[in-house]
Homo-oligomer: A and B are copies of this chain.
Amino acid sequence: MIYFDSDYMSGAHPEVLERLVATNAEQTVGYGSDGYTQRAQDLIRTACGAPQARVQLLVGGTQTNATLIDGVLARHEGVLAAESGHIAVHEAGAVEASGHKVLTLPHTEGKVSAETVARYIADFYHDETYTHMVAPGMLYISQPTEYGTIYSRAELEALSRVCHEADIPLYIDGARLGYALAAEGCDFTLQDIAALSDLFYIGGTKVGALFGEAVVVTNPRLIPHLFPLVKQHGALLAKGRLLGVQFEALFTNDLYLRIARRAVGQALRLRDAFVARGYEVVGSSPTNQQFFRLDNAVIDRLKEQVSFELWGPRGAEQSVVRFVTGWSTSDEDIEALIALL
């Protein structure tokens, strides 16, 4: 079986694993007060060009989103997000479980436009009954989106401007941030992400770590008491240095971007092969997720040897499927898949 279900099918990238093994017997204090975590935090601040930022290492994406959104919003506020946003669809109601509404916005391939956000906010405050409604308290976007697409630098700037004019923070879910930075046609840097957002996270789970997401709060006043909130959300890892060791490795010798670039390359190769064989590409993802519309018969045939996900419900005749590459997607995997097309 070849796996294209997602980018979390294997363990850690060898350079990450090696560090975990090398440091395993060492004893350090827990909960992220250790030296590995401090070095990782410093490396990340430097990579972001954000010396003032607070960096907090967490285990997984859903807990990260839930903790940060809960920490930033006032009780009467909700979070704006694309209808397709991960927090709106695939986190089993984690945001609502901490008491907040996800205010959904129309989108194009997972992206919300600055105009859409601005109009939502303007309409909201023009409504005579707005104090009976959930106030927009922050904007959530994912970069890349759930459709694999990316916001350009100009789009990010426009969103950032709209948010700051409305005095609400811009939060970027970077579960796959590496693949955005390595995308075909990417015109922004990690420093841009840090400069244009108020808080975001750099996903490790899907970019070569065993697990781990590095939260960067570029405006630390937004969540003055992050640590107890992390604990309250069950998101504090006892052996916190495991996160520090991994992110130190990922931000040493450019490993994070090396992993992302290679996986994006494999994904584009795979896309080109589908196209060459006449299959329909769905959307315009320049990252490590590629979507195709296939006959159900083709899907069933491929599924005998390849593992991948349906994208939404199965259609009557055809369905949309998703193929994802990761650090461990080998040339052999790609070639074996292509041979089956």
Residues of A in contact with B (beta carbons under 8 Å apart): 1-3, 5-6, 8-12, 14, 17, 20-21, 23-30, 59-64, 66-67, 70-71, 74-76, 78, 89-94, 96-102, 123, 126-129, 131-135, 205-206, 210-211, 225, 227-229, 231-239, 242, 307, 309-310, 312-314, 328
Contact = CB atoms under 8 A, between A and B. Distances in A.
B97 A60 contact: no
Nearest to A329: B27
14 contacts: A8-B30, A9-B28, A10-B24, A11-B242, A29-B307, A59-B60, A96-B100, A98-B99, A127-B312, A131-B231, A205-B238, A205-B239, A211-B238, A233-B234
A76 B92 contact: yes
Contacts of A91: 132, 231-232, 234
Contacts of A123: 313
The 10 closest A-B pairs by CB, nearest first: A63-B234, A11-B24, A92-B231, A76-B228, A3-B27, A92-B232, A93-B134, A8-B238, A9-B27, A126-B313
A179 to B, nearest CB: 15
Nearest to A83: B104
B26 A225 contact: no
A116 to B, nearest CB: 15
Nearest to A127: B313
Contacts of A314: 126
B234 A62 contact: yes
A305 to B, nearest CB: 13
A135 B60 contact: no
Given A75-B232, A242-B211, A133 B90 contact: yes
Contacts of A94: 231-234
A27 B68 CA distance: 31
A213 to B, nearest CB: 10
A234 B99 contact: no
A27 B336 CA distance: 15
A225 B135 contact: yes
A302 to B, nearest CB: 15
A144 to B, nearest CB: 17
Nearest to A175: B238
A228 B11 contact: no
A71 B62 contact: no
Contacts of A99: 93, 96-99
A11 B3 contact: no
Nearest to A23: B11
B29 A236 contact: no
Contacts of A62: 231, 234, 236
